[in-house]
Amino acid sequence: MYLFFPAHRSIAVLEDELGVSLFERNGRNIFLNQYGRIFLERATAALNEIEKGKQEITSMINPSSGVISLGFLHMLGVDLIPSLLSSFRKQYPDIQFELQQCTNHELMAHILNGDHDFGITTPELVTNSCLWHLLLKADLFLAVPNNHKWAEKSSISLDEIHNESYIGLKQSCGIGFTVNKLFEDKQIKPDIVLQADELDTVAGLVSAGFGVALLPKTRALLNHPLVWLKVTEPACEVSIGLVWKEERPLTPVAKSFLEFIRNQYPLIDNN
């Protein structure tokens, strides 16, 4: 190894600072010793990390390339999320997502702590420190098994569910929170057999005859042998929207996503 004088001088300063020699010298040739090899390994790693940091910052300031962190409710993972992200990536193929399925409480904690750029959830736990954009309102139908006494009906009023065996969702699941509040407001008390974590579990238990349930008529649930009754009084629906922390500065890629959402889902009714 041959070194020019400026490099030789820099090495001498570094060795003086470290208190050890980094090279073995043999005439005009020098070789890394054990200390030099250790220092080279660490210095190379440090330079690589610096380069990664530069690349990450470049991605953050580029509105067409970077990473968006997004949390969403479990029930949205089959229909809404794949469709939404597929449409977005057609416009922004170089933007990546860090996705996490959450309960309502977990999602809002991540938003408030700054762990997620956005969340997609129901509005019940959205606080005043957050902003909200409605994506859709999904009707809730009463799902009953094929051999149920109501299987020949096409519609039903909510008060008929009073004292009926019912398969519910936990409050942390979004729809569970909405439905429980609806029951409370209307003073309806079904006979709760179970409160599950997943829509698919509820649909499976209903089809097996364990009870009835208020559910959205999603593509995934249509695979179950169920009869879907429209609820006529009162109208039953669940609101789904995008939430983000008002004071959190949005990166250029996050702004691109928010602009896409506002264009794709014009705000029709935020109440």
Selection from 25, 28, 26, 29 nearest residue 15 by Cα: 25
43 and 114 housed in the same domain: no
pLDDT tens profile 64-103: 778 899 999 988 888 899 999 999 999 999 899 999 999 8
Same-domain pairing of 202 and 255: no
Residue-wise pLDDT for 46-64, tens only, equals 988 887 777 667 666 666 7
| pLDDT for 268 | 57
Q: Which residues 6+ apart lie within 8 Å of 213 measured at CB?
A: 142, 143, 166, 167, 168, 202, 203, 205, 206
Residues 181 and 208 in one domain: yes
Residue 87 domain flag: yes
Judge whether 195 lies within some domain.
Answer: yes
pLDDT in tens, 132-153: 999 999 999 999 999 999 999 9
Do 103 and 48 sit in the same domain of this protein?
no
- The CATH number of whichever domain residue 11 belongs to comes to 1.10.10
Please check whether residue 232 lies inside any domain of the structure: yes
pLDDT band with cut points at 50, 70 and 90 for residue 1: very low
Instruction: Indicate left, alpha or beta for 211 from its phi (over 0: left) and psi (-120 to 50: alpha).
Output: left
Residues 161, 248, single domain; the answer is no
The number of domains in the chain is: 3
**224 and 141: one domain?**
yes
Q: Could you tell me what percent of the chain has a pLDDT over 70?
A: 92
Indicate whether 270 belongs to any domain: no
Q: Domain for residue 269, yes or no? A: no
Q: How confident is the model at residue 7 (pLDDT cuts 50, 70, 90)?
A: low
Last residue of a domain, one of 44, 60, 76: 60
Tokens 């609820």 sit on residue: 231
Question: The tokens of 43 are what?
Answer: 């210095």
- What is the structure's pLDDT at 3? 46
End-of-domain residue from the set 60, 76, 103: 60
The arithmetic mean of pLDDT across residues 250-261, rounded, is 93
So what's the pLDDT on residue 12?
81
My answer on whether 232 and 165 are in the same domain is: yes
Q: Are residues 250 and 119 in the same domain?
A: yes
CATH number of domain containing 119:
3.40.190.10
Q: Are residues 55 and 9 located together in one domain of the fold?
A: yes
pLDDT for res 270: 46
Mean pLDDT for all residues in the chain = 88
Q: Is it the case that residue 2 has pLDDT exceeding 50?
A: no
pLDDT of residue 78: 80
Residue 271 lies in a domain: no
HEC per residue, the chain = CCCCHHHHHHHHHHHHHHCCCCEEEECCEEEECHHHHHHHHHHHHHHHHHHHHHHHHHHHCCCCCEEEEEEEEHHHCCCHHHHHHHHHHHHCCCEEEEEEEECHHHHHHHHHHCCCCEEEECCCCCCCCEEEEEEEEEEEEEEEECCCCCCCCCEEEHHHHCCCEEEEECHHHCHHHHHHHHHHHCCCCCEEEEEECCHHHHHHHHHCCCCEEEEECCCCHHHCCEEEEEEEECCCEEEEEEEEECCCCCCHHHHHHHHHHHHHCCCCCCC
Q: Is the pLDDT of residue 249 over 70?
A: yes
Cα–Cα distances in Å, from 226 out to 73, 214, 222, 236? 23, 12, 8, 18
| 52 and 85 part of one domain | no
16 falls within a domain: yes
Do residues 155 and 230 both lie within one domain? yes
pLDDT by residue (tens digit) across 157-208? 999 999 999 999 988 777 888 899 889 999 999 999 999 988 899 999 999 9
Q: Is 227 found in the same domain as 153? A: yes
| 224 C-beta neighbours (distance < 10 Å), count | 19
Q: Residue 23: pLDDT band by 50, 70, 90 thresholds?
A: confident
Domain membership of residue 164 as a residue range = 137-238
Per the domain annotation, does 226 fall within a domain?
A: yes
